[in-house]
Amino acid sequence: MGKLNKILIVNEIHQFAINELNALDFELVYLPDISNYEIKSKIEDCVGLIVRSKNINKEIIDFSKQLKFIARIGSGMENIDVNYATQKGIKCINSPEGNRDSVGEYVVSVILNLLHNIKMSDKELGHGLWKRKENFGYELNSKIVGIIGYGNMGSAVAEKLKSFGTCVIGYDKYKKNYSSNFITEVALENLFSEADILSLHIPLSKETISMADDKFFKKFKKNIYFINTSRGQVVNTKDLVKNLKSGKIIGAALDVLEYESHDYGKLDNIDQETFDYLRQADNVIITPHIAGQSRESSFKHAKIIVDKIKLINLISK
């Protein structure tokens, strides 16, 4: 019996998904290095498209004749024209559940690093400086952590902070009544007045681009630690540096940067002076968009995407 339906895969995916989809009798066209332009020539007779970082716009969608679903390996969907796809009857799915634990662990780890001056004291010892009193830190349970955005990632952070006895408060514009043993729901104004540490877990949209700017940071009553693992463009990096220099932001951890390319594979259009400050500052941690990347999350993403594809029930009768 021949294959029934064709799925185009345009980014790398865990072997588990390939094995499972093959077992469901799909024909897989696995082209992880394909360009956006080349996708157009391959998508016409496909019922499914699996993508991670490539940009799936209206033009590409219009080249499809049989497309039933677009599956994004990961959480954010800003690289897919979801509205247009939905209008054409194409179901859009993703796997934000897959890396929630990885992101949660990352956020806790960088908070602890900043509170206990780990990066700074390590660097000083590398230069032969033995500073103990100067590097006294703070215990996590003495701080109030504020979370903006209480989806998969925000809730994972709150859950992992519970074991530290930390007070966690949260604000989500689109959710209500989610207070639990892990978090207390508050108004945004209360978060501004109470938080010692802020962790962002929001999608990139017209509403959130450059949301964290100078005006935003100045709304906080206390000087804060700032963590961003969502999307780089939600932060105005120049304004962030301004507030680091003034002391309004005591320390920052940035897994995502405003200068990331659309496929997250490199940095583009860097403001060199601003980036150099972040790179050299003892109280700033920057990493290359790895908070959600782990050996385990790669498998989880694949399994979740396969399970969701099964629910679409595409296999011909």
Residues catalogued as catalytic: 231, 260, 289
Q: Which residues of 81-90 are buried (b: 16+ CB within 10 A; e: fewer)?
A: bbeebeeeeb
b/e map of 194-217 (b: 16 or more CB within 10 Å)? bbbbbbbbbbbeeebeebbbeebb
Q: Is 209 helix (H, G, I), strand (E, B) or coil?
A: coil
Nearest-Å Rg of the Cα atoms of the chain is 22
DSSP 3-state assignment of 156? helix
CA–CA dist 243, 251 (Å, integer): 10
DSSP secondary structure, 42-94, as one string: HSTT-SEEEESSS-B-HHHHHT-SS--EEEESSS--TTB-HHHHHHTT-EEEE
What residues have CB less than 8 Å from 148, skipping those under 6 apart?
A: 154, 170, 171, 172, 188, 191, 198, 199, 200, 201, 202
**How many CA atoms are closer than 13 Å to the CA of 90, on its beta-carbon side?**
28
Instruction: Read off the tokens for 80.
Output: 């897919």
Question: Smallest Cα–Cα separation from 26: which of 47, 3, 56, 53?
Answer: 3
Structure tokens given for 269 = 């259009």
- Tokens encoding 289: 């968009």
105: nearest Cα among 307, 303, 304, 287: 287
